[in-house]
Amino acid sequence: MQSHGILLDSVAAATPADLVPALDTTAVRLLDAAVPGLPDAGPHDPRLRLLVPHALALLGHIAAPSAAADALAVATRLAVALHRTGDYLSAWETARTAADLAQRLLGADHRSVLGARSRAGRALFRLGRYAEAEAALRAVRDAQECLFGADDPDTTDSGYGLQLVLANLGRREESVALLRDTVAGRRSALGPAHPLTLRARASLLEMLPAAEVLTEEGGALLTLPSECDRFLGPDHTVTLGAGHNHAWALYLLGRFDEADREIRRVAETYVRRFGPEYPIVLAARQLLSRTRAALGHVEEGIELMTDVVARRERDLGPEHPFTVASRQLLDEYRSGRWRPPQPSGG
C-alpha cells in the first residue's frame, strides 16, 4: 500500500518539482525492499506479480537517468524472481517493458538495459519461443561482448541462456562450445566456487555425450555434486541441479541403478521445496521415468510420464516443445519402441 500511494500520479502531480527526485528515490527504495534480494527457485508467489505495474509505472514516470538505472535494476530483479517461480510470461513482459521504458533515458547500450533484455530472452526460451529467444540473446550477447568483454559476468550470463536455446534447437555442438566458453569466463571472472560457475559446469553433465563426460576436466566433472555440496551446502539449488544432471550423465553411461537412486532423491527434494507443479520437478520425474523403465519397470515409467504430460499440458500448453517431447517419450513407452541407452564404460 505504501508503494501504491507513492506511485499514484496524483501524488507526483502535487509534489513540488524540487522534491520529485526524492519522491522517485523513495519509491525505488520501497520497491527494492519488496522484491527478493537474491531470487531463488521456488513455488509460484502471486504477490510478485502485484508489484509489476508499480515497477513499470515508476520507470515510466522517472526523469533522472540515475534513478531510472536504479529502478530498472529493481524491475529486472523482479523479472528474475518471477522467472524462478515459473511465471515465465510475467517475467518476459516485465523485463521487456522495463528495458523499453528505461532505454529512453539510458540508451540501448546501457549495461542495465542489456541485462533486462537478456532476462527477457531467457523467459522467451522457457515460453518455448526458441527462434525469438535465440535472436534476442545473440544480439544482447554480441553487444555485451563488444562493450564489456567476453568474460564479463553479464556476457557469460547471456551466453549461458543462449546455449540452452541452441541445445533445444538440436544444435548441440554450438551449444557445448558456448557452454565451455561460459564455464571458462565465469571461472575467470567469478572464481571456481561461485554458484554461477558451478551451475555452468553442472550443465556440461547434461549437454556432453557420455564418453566426453568421462574425460572432461580430467574426469573431475563426475564428482561435481560433492564439490557443490562442499562449497554451497546440500540443499542449495545449484547443488540439487548438479545432482539432477549427474543422474542424467549416469543414465547415459548405463549406470541405471546409481542414476535411479540419485534422481529419486533429487525429485523428492524438489517436490518438498517447490511443490509438484514446478518445472524442474517435472524434468526430474521425467528422468526418473527413464531410469525406472531402464531397470525393467516400464509400467511405472508410463505412470510417471502420464502425470508429467498432464501437468505440462496444463501449465505450458499442448504445443510447447517440452510438452511435445514428454508426450513423445510416453508414446514410445506405450508402443514398446523405447530403448535405454547402451551402457558405456566408466
Render pLDDT for 14-29 as a digit per residue (tens, 0 to 9): 667 777 778 788 889 9
Whole-number pLDDT of residue 1: 43
Side-chain half-sphere CA neighbours of 123 within 13 A: 27
Q: Is 26 exposed, middle or buried (0-12, 13-18, 19+ CB in 10 A)?
A: middle
Q: Distance (Å, rounded) from C-alpha 345 to C-alpha 116?
A: 44
Q: Distance (Å, rounded) from C-alpha 3 to C-alpha 174?
A: 45
pLDDT category, 9, cuts 50, 70, 90? low
Q: Distance (Å, rounded) from C-alpha 57 to C-alpha 218?
A: 52
pLDDT in tens, 136-189: 999 999 999 999 999 999 999 999 999 999 999 999 999 999 999 999 999 999
Q: Distance (Å, rounded) from C-alpha 244 to C-alpha 248?
A: 7
Of 127, 196, 132, 122, the closest CA to residue 163 belongs to 122
Q: Distance (Å, rounded) from C-alpha 28 to C-alpha 66?
A: 11
pLDDT in tens, 64-83: 999 999 999 999 999 999 99
Going from the C-alpha of 74 to that of each of 19, 69, 102, 161, 326, the distances in angstroms are 22, 9, 12, 21, 36
User: Integer distance in angstroms from the first to the last C-alpha of the chain?
Assistant: 59
Whole-number pLDDT of residue 73: 97
Residue 307 grid coordinates: 502425470
pLDDT in tens, 242-271: 999 999 999 999 999 999 999 999 999 999
Q: Distance (Å, rounded) from C-alpha 154 to C-alpha 156?
A: 6
Whole-number pLDDT of residue 193: 96
Of 218, 137, 220, 227, the closest CA to residue 182 belongs to 137
* Angle, helices 65-84/20-34, rounded to nearest 10 degrees: 20
Contact 330, 305 (CB under 8 A): yes
Length of the chain: 346
Contact 83, 119 (CB under 8 A): yes
Q: Distance (Å, rounded) from C-alpha 300 to C-alpha 281?
A: 17
Stated pTM of the model: 0.90
Residue 175: CB partners within 8 Å, gap ≥ 6? 163, 164, 166, 167, 207
Residue 274 grid coordinates: 517447490
Type and span of the H or E element at 333: helix 321-335
Angle, CA of 261, 266 and 267, to the nearest 5°: 100
